[in-house]
């Protein structure tokens, strides 16, 4: 830009006849003049100043345009973020949602189901079409077919219940809940559902049951998930399920088999100077629980006392107390030790 062109631009600027770009250029020029007299500026100085000003103007335009683009994109970004959060929350819900009951109903859709809930504060007895009986604890519910299928009997339990199942080897009985599948032929057992971070449990009173993890608890099939190994339970044993693991142990209050099966028994619990080997043999037979000793020295001790009206663990407390020993549960057995 030469002196004449520059003077023409200033004249048009003062008259308000310049373009917006020219006006912006002149404003920048005045800002960068720093009180210099423009008359003293050479054409070279003007060209250099022009280049610098246009660089600054273009830079500001770029920033402004970027800001405008971001402003225009912001609603779309907000919507995308909302969708991402919704998918994340939905994923968490689906991951933790237990669909075992819905899977049970879907797999048996050809049957007509009845659902009963115990809304009382006392146990409720429900009789099924095969003469099996279910004792529902308060707040528990049971879903069962009005008429069982010809080859199997299936029910779904929410909460805790005691089952007394009629024997029918040709029609196995299955109890499903949110974590387990229990298969029986004819037996009595108690099912306790997971609650307040406590593990699910199956305790057997009579007969035998097989316990499996319910594989249809989620809609996702996780490749790294390993289902629990099935376990077989007999009287006075219970299965405990937690973290995809099933383990066997003993019930809190073992019941003599004669009492459980309601059959007569001639076992006497009144011992007179009997050695512990014989006493432990009597108790093992009575409860169906193996009682082992850490060494033969324990077996040689004798005990005198009437244990007829006491439970197994109380009986063992009295026996072990008499010889300053102790006992502990080891899987589905009891180990007596003289190590204090």
Which residue carries 């299928």 as its tokens?
149
Q: What's this model's pTM, rounded to 2 decimal places?
A: 0.69
Q: What is the pLDDT of residues 269-299, one digit of tens each?
A: 999 999 999 999 999 999 999 999 999 899 9
Provide DSSP, 91-120. HHHHHH---HHHHHHHHTTTSPEEEEE--S
* Residue 109, beta-bridge partner list: none
State how far the Cα of 161 lies from the Cα of 135, in Å rounded to an integer: 5
Picking from 164, 218, 226, 204, the residue whose alpha carbon sits closest to that of residue 332 is 204
Give per-residue burial for 87-118: e unless 16+ CB within 10 Å, then b.
eeeeeeeeeeeeebbebbeeebeeeeeeeeeb
pLDDT along the chain (340 residues), means of 10: 62 71 67 52 55 50 54 60 55 58 90 94 95 96 94 95 94 94 91 80 95 79 68 96 93 96 94 96 97 93 95 96 95 89
């Amino acid at each position: 830009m030469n002196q004449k062109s520059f003077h023409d631009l200033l004249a048009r600027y003062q008259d308000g006849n310049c373009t917006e770009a020219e006006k912006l250029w002149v404003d920048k020029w005045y800002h960068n003049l720093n009180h210099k007299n423009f008359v003293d500026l050479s054409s070279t100085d003007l060209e250099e100043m022009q280049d610098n000003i246009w660089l600054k103007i273009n830079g500001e335009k770029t920033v402004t345009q970027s800001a405008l683009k971001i402003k225009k994109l912001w609603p779309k970004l907000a919507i995308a973020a909302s969708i991402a959060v919704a998918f994340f929350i939905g994923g968490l819900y689906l991951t933790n949602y237990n669909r075992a009951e819905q899977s049970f109903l879907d797999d048996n859709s050809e049957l007509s189901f009845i659902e009963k809930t115990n809304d009382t504060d006392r146990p409720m007895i429900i009789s099924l079409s095969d003469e099996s009986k279910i004792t529902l604890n308060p707040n528990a519910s049971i879903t069962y077919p009005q008429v069982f299928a010809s080859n199997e009997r299936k029910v779904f339990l929410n909460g805790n219940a005691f089952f007394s199942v009629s024997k029918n080897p040709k029609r196995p009985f299955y109890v499903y809940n949110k974590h387990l599948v229990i298969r029986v032929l004819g037996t009595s057992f108690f099912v306790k559902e997971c609650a307040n971070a406590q593990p699910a449990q199956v305790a057997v009173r009579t007969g035998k049951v097989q316990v499996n993890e319910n594989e249809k608890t989620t809609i996702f099939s996780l490749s790294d998930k390993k289902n629990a190994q099935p376990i077989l339970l007999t009287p006075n044993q219970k299965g405990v399920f937690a973290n995809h693991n099933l383990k066997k142990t003993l019930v809190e209050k073992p019941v003599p088999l004669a009492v459980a099966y309601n059959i007569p028994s001639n076992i006497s619990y009144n011992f007179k100077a009997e050695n512990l080997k014989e006493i432990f043999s009597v108790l093992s037979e009575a409860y169906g629980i193996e009682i082992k000793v850490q060494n033969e020295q324990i077996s040689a001790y004798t005990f005198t006392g009437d244990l007829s009206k006491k439970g197994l663990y109380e009986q063992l407390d009295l026996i072990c107390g008499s010889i300053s020993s102790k006992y502990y549960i080891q899987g589905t057995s009891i180990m007596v030790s003289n190590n204090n």
